[in-house]
Structure 1
């Protein structure tokens, strides 16, 4: 039974061993792990009868044990009896038995297929399925300009191209003299910077400059300098000294005169140019006068068409300086487009209006609302500097009818005309009737009555004196003065005054004969009253005269 098992086992492994024959076929540099199978090939050429036993020795997964399998090969093939074959089979089994126990061998076996796959893989990868993308150059560099220039060097600046394409390796700067086509490369190696200094130039040369960007797709179209540059030292670069008042919006009224003086500096003498809103100035409307140190913008009579942005440019060779002046010509606004009476209630009226079509070339700052009574037609301001487009007029008089008008305002002033409501507001009477209180008229008639009587007085000869009293009564009483019961007439020595019930009698420089009793009497239709006093006139006595 064991021999039968060996005989059956050996033929079954023979085809496996033959499958290993292609292993030595790959010629290019076989790995050291694949060398043993190459030496095991002669073992398969052993005698025909011994081959089944020898091939059965190694495990189907282990190629290197071919050397140990070659050990039982010496017995002669063909003449060996069947017993020898049977003996060789157990020997081969004993030799081959340890092979499956090696743990590292199965790890080496997958390397052989990997070499075959590696030998087959390159042809598959080398077959191109899609065409390679074509490299695209960049667009031209932008805004090529002069940064600095002197008698031997020229500094150029530029901006990156708008389209990069297949990347960007750097820039190449080239220049040539005017009226020639020999372009000279300033930098042999492309520079990644956006600035380059061209050195060792000849003074007074007029140069054209261009910048080319480079990438795997090749050079780009050139970015050219707008104007040729003269290689020379600029003594004083141009500079505009804009006055502070012109740094913001400059506002003038329609009809006013405009005279703007803008100083500048530069050497040699700069070239001055002006433009308005990007267009050349019209010499018929704006006058420009230039000197060595300043430029004058003169407008004899300003109009709204003169509003806009004026740009002044001073230039010396490739250097320039610019300044912008914003000029605004304003005037009175137009009236509101319309005004409407929305509602009337109680003593109030609600109005709405729309902004004017003409704002006077400036913003509207407010509105003025006025009312007028239909009876008088006089206009009175009720809202001033009002910012909203609707408002309420209050404190209207009951029973009156009112019209309303609205003016618009800006920084120049109030509009000359106003928008007037087409309808009127009538303030209805609520129904309250006013009945005045009936007061009895008071009777102020009264007989004369002295509230302040006369008082006795003493006077000195030669010194004027006055007598005073107060009387009341209605109708106004008539006042008379008497001396010793005799009415004083038109004597110039006496002066009589009656003012708002105060009665005064002035005696001018009285003598000793002027003393006596003085009476004041007041009379009207209801009666009369009188008061009296005594006046004593004293003589001054000189003591020295009496002694003599």
Structure 2
């Protein structure tokens, strides 16, 4: 007959765990209020009646019968997620006490799948921590009747209460995570293309290119130039401070020494492999053939005026420093007239105030050891020329004079470019230019005035200008007046007499009462014709009637009728008459009444 299951008793208040277990348990941590409910409010979910498996009875003990658990009434409460450590502690206790009774329970329906996943993760961490507890701590807990065994049975029957207990246990603190160490810094590769740029008796100038490889985390601090004499290994730094430039001058060396030179790149990673010049470098100035670099404007004749300053800069090259010498016309320069200033690169010929005597061929010689180079400079100092040597009047005919002259004795140290010829009348004595920039030595002067006497003079001209003096003719040239017998042609007077003739006739006109009018016509004739005006074949006389005004000026005849009335209309005739005849022209004049308004018209009729 099967044994009846013993009824599950209500869990008693939890007793403190043994000190041995406390030594291994981590310190409790504060539970998150959003995830863990207080232990007082946690209630075990109603468990279904399920058989309870009893642990195997120990020797001398009666078997324990498990009674079916009575369902407890449920109270309607908001679902509270179980703490994360709820499932971890039963698992740890089962591992420690294999005789504990397992009570299958169902999970709360209100627990979210995401919270179950987090709960399982934390339970696994706590289970691993509890598994490290010593086995002797778990053995007494399995004995029946001990407080640990009662707690295990109670935890199996009420898993939620056990989970609330486990919530007070906190996960042990983790060690802080340190960042990975930075990669070690590396030196650069060796500099490239180390070459000798220049040498002198006491220095060597070298150049190089940056290294091909420069690590990004190290960069480049600079370069160190190291030297040693040939045959020794005593390398010394030529620069006390790192140089950033890829060019360096090694100074204060002894002439004739042979140096081994190398360049090292330096950065936080250390020194790079050295880049060494393979052959020893001899400390001695590099020899070069002398060369005069004559400017283009000095390759032809250099012309200056008297009194001007001469300052010629002529570059040269050569190594070692050349020896410079100057000659004028094959002889050394006169230091009173010319000065020479020589530097390492050029030589300057300086003359403060040029004179005619400074003209000539100057030669500059640049010499290095057995080699030399020369350059010749032709300097020409010019001034105003003198007057022509002689001038004379060759011939005079009609209105013309022929002149001839000779070149000046002093041309101003340059060629004559032309002549200026002037003339002066004996009556006035004023000089006037006839020819300018004339290049020939003879000329014919024309368009002179008959009966006048002339004197001529000539100036010479060169690049500086006209000569200050001139050559004047000794004689005078007189233009003789010729005798002419004039017989005038007899004068026949022309007969301009003409009978009167109207060139413009009168035209019919109309006017208004009270408005003055004019009648116009034009007539010609010789002798001057007499003008008569007639009205209706009656002669008008303006002396008797001031209404009419007659005007005849320059052949234009005008009859002005002042404020005509209704009876001034009619036929008007203008008659022109002289000794050769007479002629008439006529017209009709109509005088109209003015147009009035109706009121004015009635008033006029009443009157």
**Class of the TM-score when normalised by the shorter of the 2 chains:** 0.3 to 0.5
Q: TM-score, normalised by structure 1?
A: 0.39
Q: TM-score, normalised by structure 2?
A: 0.35
> Which has the greater radius of gyration?
2
